[in-house]
Amino acid sequence: MENHRGKVFFITGASSGIGKRIALALAGSGATLLLAARNEKSLTEVANQIRAQGGEAFIYPVDLSRKEEVEKMSRLIQSRFGRVDLLINNAGFGVFDPVVRGDPEDWEKMMTVNYLASVRLIRAFLPQMLSQREGHIINVASIAGKLGSPFFAGYNASKFAIVGFSESLYIELLGTGVNVTTICPGPIDTPFFKDGEMERVLGKRGAKFLLPPEKVVRAILKAIEKKPREVILPRYMKLVIHMKNLFPKAFSFLSARLFPKG
């Protein structure tokens, strides 16, 4: 990592999984790390590990599904630090059921956490980034924001939303000094899925293609330095997305045959 001393990095979903790994990887970057998640105890443990490595970390326990909590947290950060140089919107969750059995309240919460919370944080910190003509927004989306899958309808909708928002924002901010990067990984080998859920929605074949979390973290660390428009993992998924765009009907037929039926 480059030396980012004097910078302020804000990471959501930092208490576990990819968010935690990113935070720990940035401990030696010199930046002040702001960590947000619901679990205060886990956040404290991550912050203590960062401090043990000589880094500086502050925690913000927050329920990102609650607009008032997000807005309050944003105001606290602005009043204390006056800036956020890197915003990593990483928090997210998924509920995976057929549409006929799914709960619309789950879909609404996924849309709120996976999409709207990121938008609210971007709206909070973007004006300051624009005023200093420098900043970086990383939205951790998913391959599910590029490809539809059975049982993923609610999750797909939230990830398609953040991918589309990110694409528009990237174009809008060209030439301003503020960069936007969208990270689209496939399923990652973390406790994201509940016990037994992975094979239920991905099948045994799909469960074999889980990405090592370290690979995703390395890609995000590289993106912090290089500021690409988009990162797709694994790389061969670029070809899959291209084929889907060229032959959508054939892709849907093949997906229906490959994924589990119930």
**Ordered domains of the chain (ranges, CATH):** 8-258 (3.40.50.720)
pLDDT of residue 200: 56
**CA 114 – CA 169 distance, rounded (Å):** 17
pLDDT of residue 22: 98
pLDDT of residue 143: 95
Predicted confidence (pLDDT) at residue 51 exceeds the cutoff of 90 = yes
Is the Cα torsion angle 120, 159, 163, 223 positive or negative in sign? positive
Q: Which residue has the higher pLDDT, 202 or 28?
A: 28
pLDDT of residue 257: 77
Predicted confidence (pLDDT) at residue 207 exceeds the cutoff of 70 = no
pLDDT of residue 57: 98
Predicted confidence (pLDDT) at residue 206 exceeds the cutoff of 90 = no
**CA 60 – CA 23 distance, rounded (Å):** 14
pLDDT of residue 87: 98
Query: Quick one: what percent of the chain has pLDDT higher than 90?
Result: 83
Name the average pLDDT for the chain: 92
pLDDT digits (tens, 9 = 90+) for 95-138: 999 999 999 999 999 999 999 999 999 999 999 999 999 999 99
Q: Which residue has the higher pLDDT, 191 or 56?
A: 56
pLDDT of residue 163: 98
- Name the residue among 171, 97, 85 with its Cα closest to residue 133: 85
At 222, which amino acid appears? K
pLDDT of residue 130: 98
pLDDT of residue 171: 98
154: its two tokens:
């609610």
- Whole-prediction pTM: 0.92
Q: Are 240 and 233 in contact (CB under 8 A)?
A: no
pLDDT digits (tens, 9 = 90+) for 140-186: 999 999 999 888 999 999 999 999 999 999 999 999 999 999 999 99
Residues marked active site are found at 155
